[in-house]
Structures are given as C-alpha cells and as structure tokens.
Structure 1
Amino acid sequence: MTVAKQLKVRIRERMARTGERYSVARAHVLRTGGPGAVVDAGWTLRGGTDPDAAALANVLAHQRVSGPTGPLSEALLLVVGGGLGAGYILWEFERDDSRIVVLGFSHSWQYFDRRLATTADRLGLDVEWARTGGTARAAGALASTLTAGDPAIVWPDRYHLGFWHLPPFLDGHGGHPVVAYAMTNGRVHIDDRTLAPLTVPVADVDRARARVGSYRNSMLVVRSHDTAVPADRLRDAVRAGLAATVDQLGGTSTSFALPAWRKWSKLLVDPRAAKGWPTVFADRRGLLRALAGVWEAVEPAGMTGGHLRGLFADGLADAAAVLEEPALAGEAQRWREIADRWHTLADTALPDDVPAIARLRELTAAITASVAEGDAAAADRAAAAEELWALRAEHADAPPLTPDEVGGILRAMSEQLAGIVDAESAAVRQLGTLVARSG
C-alpha cells in the first residue's frame, strides 16, 4: 500500500471513530496543517464545516472582502448569521413506509436562504440573488457568471449532483449550498468544502438546481470585492447574531428551539406517545436508518456539518475580539464541552462495537472524505457508496441489535439529551447576559 493510500485509510478511520470533518482528521493524522491549500482555476480550496458559512467565507476570501483586521472566518460568519438553532422532527411517510429523523442545528435551519441573506445584510455586502423557474435561463445565468470570473453559491439536489452517490429514493430530498467557481470542458467546478478539485457535468448541475421546487435555480453572487467591513458594522453584526442565537435557542417552540431536544428526549422512551420511538419502531423496520440518520446529522463527518457547537465555540472566540468582551472567549469552552456531549450521543446511537454498524460508520466517513478529496477519489466513493447502501438495505427490516440492546441505546440517548438540554439552557442564559452587557 502506498504512503498516500495509507494516509487516506488512517484519516477515514479517524473520521469514523471521532466524527470529525476530513480537514480536522487529516490535520490530526499529519500532526500539522499539511501542505498549502490547492488552487484550482484561480479558486483556493479551503474546506470548511458548515455549508452556508463555509461557502460565504470562501467566496469573501476569493473576492478579497475582509473584516477591519483580517479575513472573516467561517466561525465568525456562523455567528453573524444567527449562530445556533435546535430542531427535531420525525417524519413518517405511508407511500414507502419510511421514517426519517430530521435534526436542525443552525439558526433558521428550516429556511434554505435565510442565514446567508441575513449575514449579507448585517455585513452590508453587495449581493445579487437570482431565482428563476426556467432551467435554460438559470443555466445561462450560471454560465455567464462563471465566464465573467465570479463564483456563485447555488443549491443543488444532492442526488442529481451525483458525487454523494445517493440511492434513487433520495431523489428530490434537497441539498445544502455549494460554490460553483468555474466551468471547463463541459464540467462545473464545485466547492463543497473540498480540498481538491471536484467537477460535475454541466447537465447534472442544471438538473440538480432545478429539482427542488422551494428553491429551484436559486443563485447568490457576491458583488462586493476588495473591501473591508467597517469595525462598527462588524460589531453590530456580531452582536445581532449572538442575540439571534439567544432568542432562537431560548424560545418555546418544540420543533425549532431547545424544547425540541426535551421533546425528543421523552419520545425516545415513551411507549404511549404516537410519535414515541417504541411505538414508531415497534416493528424494528427503519430503525437502523433512523439511528444512522442521527449519527450523520450530529457528527461533522456527515454531509451537512454536524451539530456546529464546536464551530460556534470558535466563533465566540472571534466575537470576543470583535466586541472586546473577553468573557465570550471563556464561554467558548462551555460550548466545546456541549459539542463533546453531542459526540457521545452520536456514538451511543450508532455503537461501533457492533461490526456491521462500525462498517456503516466507516463507509459513511469514507464517502465524505472522498468528496473532500475531489475527482481523484471518484472511484473510492462510488465503491464505498455501493457497499454502504447494500449494507443499509440488508438491515432495513431490523438493526443488527437485540431488542434489549435497542432499549438500552434509547434510554441512554434520552438521558444524554436531557443533559444536553440543561447544558445548552445554562449556556444560552449566560450568553444572553454577556450580549446584553456588550451592548
């Protein structure tokens, strides 16, 4: 096995074990930041965690839009956009007897465009939105934008985009924002927090952008360039973003605020509730999909960036400097401890001491890693996806766990979620005090 192959294996093994993003796992394996960033068609591939904040951070860096003292980090942009949220929904669909767990971890997670629109507005950025129902016009607009040398943030359906290798039953389930930054030889260069060039046929991109009705062919282009956000504007933006986190998490909604975690904690073990997991999964069908969905949604090693609590902690450290409020940096450690709690929950939901489940985690991490590795890893992710979905199909009717083991997992998750609610509630109260003081 070559050195490069050994390195990939070690990185992917670490991702499966720790739930880390590819770039973080890679840095740990190398024990350094590794070689410099790759530049493709004039675009620097910087990676990232949160699809929204990373996309905007990378576009602003490309456009040479900064803060008064340096680059606007992904973590700080997460804060400006409203920071964190909470969300839990268990969907049941009769047409295919599927049960799907949906978790939200960012502010306004249920709206595809709100965080980016809010961030741009708070920072005073000059941006242009395009929303057209016509596929041909949308394709032409993207082509002309890229030909002019401007990157564009777009919202493609993951299934039709192709490189995630999702099965047909996930056709039309949507996707997160990515950056299209060049078009060459009939292919669009896509930055999905990648660290190496990743390209997709133009026709696939056009079809993916047109698939989901609620945000069909949406595109965001940043027109600001070679400028710095004024210090007072940045302070106001950061303060507003932190206040939004406090308001969102501190709200009363059982779907979109901290009470959502409390509700989920109870439903995991309530045999009487119609939406209780003992009721919904009484026949055990679809239970592995639900547990795997929890792991993928919570851990940064999944497609969507995970719980974001660690990234928010980094944003608090940046915010402390912007607002000249050192206590915010102290609160960062509290949120890192909360991030550890979420990792424990994900580990509980999908225990890697069960061989089939351990392999499921490894394959999921391998796909995410190979997306970060770009076109060079296309064969790797295709092979990993084929094995992953075959493994999931094999256990679709029942997880490779006994009923007693399932009961223990659900009880442990319930207790861990209750602890997360208490920890996040205390953190939000303290954050509210600091935000009020900084104003």
Structure 2
Amino acid sequence: MARTGESYTTARRHVAGAAPVPLSAAGYRLSGGREPVSAALAHVLAHHGVRCAGDEVSEELIFGVAGGPGAGYILWEFAHDDSRPVVLAFSADWQYADRATLAALDRLGVAASVHRTGGAVGAARALAAAVDAGRPALVWPDRRRAGYRHLPDALDGMGGHVVVAYGRSGDGYLVDDRSLAPLTVPAPVLDAARARVGSYRNLLVDPQPTGDLAPEALRSALVAGLSHGAAQLGGTSASFALPAWRKWARLVTEGKAAKGWPRVFADGRGLAGALASVWEGVSPAGTTGGHLRDLTADCLDAAGPLLGVPTAAAADAWRAAGAGWTAVGDAALPADVPGFGRLRELTATVEQSVLGDGDAGRDAAVVAAAGLWELRARLDAEPPLTPADRDALFAGLGSRLHAVHAAEQVAVRELAAVLERAG
C-alpha cells in the first residue's frame, strides 16, 4: 500500500489473493473500501439489499453520486504543540461533514433520518435504536477520541470522517471504517467521540431505503453528483477548487509570504510533521484514502455504460493526475532521507492494522502508532534536512505541484466533456 499507492484492499489482494467476504455476526458484510463517504454509503445500501439492474451499487459509482473529486489545501500553525500540519482534501464538499453524504442520498432518492442533538442521552438513544433495529447508522466520531488509530492528545478535537456503526459486541459498537475485520469501540468511547466536535456534534444519519434503484435514477444521480463536483473544482476558490494547488505550488517556494514555506519552516522545526502529513494525505496509507484520482478514474470507467458516452479519455486523464500526486508524495517525504522512510512504514502499519485486522490488530497498531508519533516529534525537533536540503526539497515539491495542477486542469476539462455529452 505504501509502496504502490494502491488502496489497502487492492494491495492485500496482490499478496493474499481474492477471498469471499463473510458476513459479520451482525449480518453486515465487511468489504473494505477506498474513501469514507462512498464506502460507507455503498456498504449500507448493500446491507439493505438495494440493487440496480440486479447488481449492488459499487463504491466507484457512489463516489461520483456524492460529488466525485475535490480539492483543498490548508497549512495550519498550532501553538499548543508547535506543529504545522498540512490538511489536504480530494473529494467534493470535503469542508462540510455531512454535505456529500446527504446530497448522495438525496440524489439517489433514498430516505434517511437525520439526528442532530447536543444532548448525550438523546444521541446515545438514537444510535442504539438504529443499530438494535438492524439499521447500520452513519456517525462522525472524532478520530483521537474513537481511539483505534491511537493518535496523540494534541489531535483531540481535530475531527474525523464518517464511519458505520452496524452492530453490538458486548458493551461496544461494531464499527466499519473500510475495515475487513471486526472493529469494536466501547459505547461510552463512541458516544464521547461523536460529541467532541461542535460543528457536527452527535450527528447521525440513518438511511432507510425502500427498494431498488432504476438505472435511469442512478444515471441521473451520477450526472448530478459529478456535475456538482466538476463545477466546484472548476471554480476560483484558492482553498476549495483547483487554484488551491496553484497557490500551494507558489507558497512552497515563496519566502516573503506569511504562509510561504521558506518563512514558516525557516528554522526547520515542525517540517518533518508537515511533510509526513502531505505524504499521508496523498497516499492510500493515510486515513481518508489518499488523492482519490484512481477512484475517480474507476468511477468514470464504471459510469461509461450507464451514461452511454465514451469515458476512457477522461479516466486516463484522472489516472495521469493520480500519478502526479504520487510524485508529489514522494517528493514531500523522500524515503532516502533518514527517518522519512520509517515514517511511511509506521503510517502504513497503523492503517493496515486497523483496516486489515480490526480488533485483532490492536496491539500492533498501538506499537506502530507509538513509534510513529515519537519519531515525528523527534524529527520535528531535530530536522534531518540542512537548509540547502530544504530549499532543494521545496523546489522539487513546487515543480511537481505545478505539474499536477496542469494535469488536473486537463482532467477537469475531460470530465466536463463527458458530462456535456451525457446531457
């Protein structure tokens, strides 16, 4: 996964071969996944038996229905732990916790109950009612509070992505975070994690589909979702559209700007963590699926027959953009710099333990996470790069960012052409 840039599920298949996916004790199928929103929705719809022309609706198509690819770049500077992490986003509407999820359900015509409450008792009751009735529920726990990635205290309240609570195990909930094995979170822990982030405190979405999808309904939902995402990407925002990549490419070498990397990282402190967060954001070894350009391409491949128009050129353009993002990740965290290769390995090990092994991987995840965050702190305090090394790294990173921005402009144009032909 860390080496090839593939999702964990795909990389694992190369080693272990394809295997049938068994039902969990709760009757819910754990089948991995690539991106949180699309995987969660695909799995919940499959659990409810929703089909289109006899087939389950794939994660690839759901990704398009939810808006498809997006863009986002933010460099944070935190005083509480002297860190400077980079937040990257690659899916539509990423800046809103539930917007892509609710939009996808609406486009598909799937009814859902949405619960928002500040009260802990009401939130716990709503989750228990859905799960005990056999309806997997979509929830948004804070990652550090949820516990299974063993994040440091400094990341408390920094947010999280959607997961599925689909059953019970003792006094805990069974959680699907694109995992292939049971993953249990104690009920009080999950309740506290859901309540941690004020902007979406205790949010719960309880999909309640009533039947199959007609092909025309899925086609309409797919066109609407991809059109929304393409319009968003093609906008002028330097935070939430393609100009975000151009802005980043400029800032990574601009010393005078307040957020210019040569200025922010003039003393080298915090740089290793920032570079690691870039690699994690781009790579499927990270927590949210990486750059997702390969998923976009697969979505277009799957959409071709449904849309009735050629999609190969657009899919190829998005795969080219994905290759560019892999190069960005490699330039940000070169494996031959002392400690950087180990950061990659430990990040992938944590994710492998969560996604592949679930509860059985907890001990391995604890050890790997402890090593990861200790190494990040040490490299942040004692940078392994000389000033000349930093300048060279910034120059290489900027060049690759300019190239990926150009590649994404082509990809968005190709996507727009597909949508125009599809009407």
Fold conserved between structures, TM > 0.5: yes
Alignment of 1:141 onto 2:126: yes
Tell me the equivalent position of 2:339.
356
Is it true that 1:150 corresponds to 2:160 in the alignment?
no
Structure 1 residue 170 corresponds to structure 2 residue 155: yes
Secondary structure of the 1:99 match is coil
CA distance in 2, matches of 1:91, 1:219: 28
Q: Deviations over 1:172-226 (max 9, x none)?
A: 101000000011310110000000011011110011011110000000111114x
Q: Distance in 2 between matches of 1:318 and 1:182?
A: 31
In structure 2, how many angstroms separate the alpha carbons of the residues matched to 1:95 and 1:180?
A: 32
How far apart are the structure 2 equivalents of 1:290 and 1:211? 24
Give, as a single letter, the amino acid of the residue that structure 1 aligns with 2:61. Answer: L
Give 2:391's match in structure 1, choosing from 407, 421, 431.
407
- Indicate how the Cα distance of structure 1 residues 329 and 64 shifts in structure 2: closer, same or farther if over 3 A, else same: farther
The one-letter amino acid of 1:356's match is G
Aligned-partner SS, 1:275: coil
Confirm whether residue 315 of structure 1 aligns to residue 315 of structure 2.
Answer: no
**1:27 paired residue number:** 13
Q: Taking structure 1 as reference, are residues 312 and 293 closer, same or farther at Cα in structure 2, changes over 3 Å only?
A: same
**Distance of aligned partners of 1:234 and 1:112 in 2 relative to their CA distance in 1, 3 Å threshold:** same
Q: Using a 3 Å threshold, how does the CA distance of structure 1 residues 35 and 67 change in structure 2: closer, same or farther? A: closer
Partner residue, 1:261:
245
Output the amino acid matched with 1:170. Answer: L
Identity among equivalent pairs (%) = 51
Indicate which of 111, 116, 141 corresponds to 2:96.
111
Q: Does the alignment pair 1:366 with 2:349?
A: yes
Letter in structure 1 aligned against 2:317 = R
For residue 337 of structure 1, report the CA deviation from its aligned partner. Answer: 1.7
Which of 14, 17, 20 aligns to 2:3? It is 17
Distance 1:149 1:435, change over 3 A: same
Which of 145, 148, 159 aligns to 2:144? It is 159
For 1:48-68, what per-residue CA distance to the aligned partner results, in whole angstroms no more than 9, with x for missing partners? 010011000000000011223
Determine if the alignment matches structure 1 residue 80 to structure 2 residue 65: yes
Unpaired segments of 5 or more residues in structure 1? Answer: 1-14
What's 1:215 paired with? 200
**In the TM superposition, what is the alpha-carbon distance from 1:163 to its structure 2 partner?**
0.3
Structure 1 residue 354 displacement after superposition: 2.4
1:18-61 deviation per Cα after TM superposition (whole angstroms, max 9, x unaligned)? 2432211111223x323534533211101001001100000000
Paired position in structure 2 for 1:128: 113
How far apart in 2 are the matches of 1:127 and 1:247?
26
Equivalences for residues 355-394 of structure 1 within 5 A: 355-372=338-355, 373-394=357-378
Separation in 1, partners of 2:388, 2:15? 37
Change (3 A) 1:123 1:35: closer
The structure 2 residue matched to 1:281, chosen from 265, 273, 276, is 265
**SS of corresponding position for 2:311:** helix
In structure 2, the residue matched to 1:342 is 325
Q: Is the 8 A contact 2:21 2:31 kept in 1?
A: no
Q: Alignment RMSD, CA only?
A: 1.3
> Is the contact between residue 38 and residue 45 of structure 1 (CA under 8 Å) also seen in structure 2?
yes
**For residues 409 and 120 of structure 1, what CA distance do their matches in structure 2 show?**
43
Distance 1:336 1:399 in 2: 34
Divergent runs of 4+, >4 A:
none
Provide the C-alpha distance between the structure 2 equivalents of 1:309 and 1:256, rounded to a whole number of angstroms: 16
Q: Any conservation in 2 of the 1:40–1:197 contact (CA below 8 Å)?
A: no
Amino acid at match of 1:142: L
What secondary structure sits across from 2:175 in the alignment?
strand
Q: Could you give the per-residue CA deviations for residues 269-294 of structure 1, whole angstroms, max 9, x where no partner exists?
A: 01111110000110111101110000
- Kept in 1, the 8 Å contact 2:317–2:410? The answer is no
Separation in 2 of the partners of 1:406 and 1:29? 37
Check if 1:434 corresponds to 2:418: yes
Partner of 2:405, secondary structure, is helix
- Count residues with an aligned counterpart: 422
Partner in structure 1 of residue 51 of structure 2: 66
CA contact 1:288–1:398 (8 Å) conserved in 2: no
Contact 2:26 2:168 in 1 (8 A): no
Alpha-carbon deviations, 1:123-174, whole Å to 9, x = none?
1001111111101111111112111111101000011110010000000101
Mark the CA change 1:368 to 1:299 in structure 2 (over 3 Å): closer, same or farther: same
What are the superposed Cα offsets for residues 392-431 of structure 1, whole Å, 9 maximum, x if unpaired? 1111224322222222211111111111111111121122
1:371-405: CA deviations, max 9, x gaps?
01111111000011111111111112243222222
Residues 369-378 or 99-108, more deviating = 99-108
Does the 8 Å contact 1:19/1:300 carry over to 2?
yes
State whether structure 2 residue 30 is matched by structure 1 residue 45: yes
Q: Do residues 248 (structure 1) and 232 (structure 2) align?
A: yes
User: Counterpart amino acid of 1:328?
Assistant: T
Shift of residue 96, structure 1, vs aligned partner: 3.9
Q: Distance in 1 between matches of 2:276 and 2:23?
A: 32
| Partner amino acid, structure 2, of 1:238 | L
Q: Is 1:420 matched with 2:404?
A: yes
Superposed displacement of residue 16, structure 1: 2.7
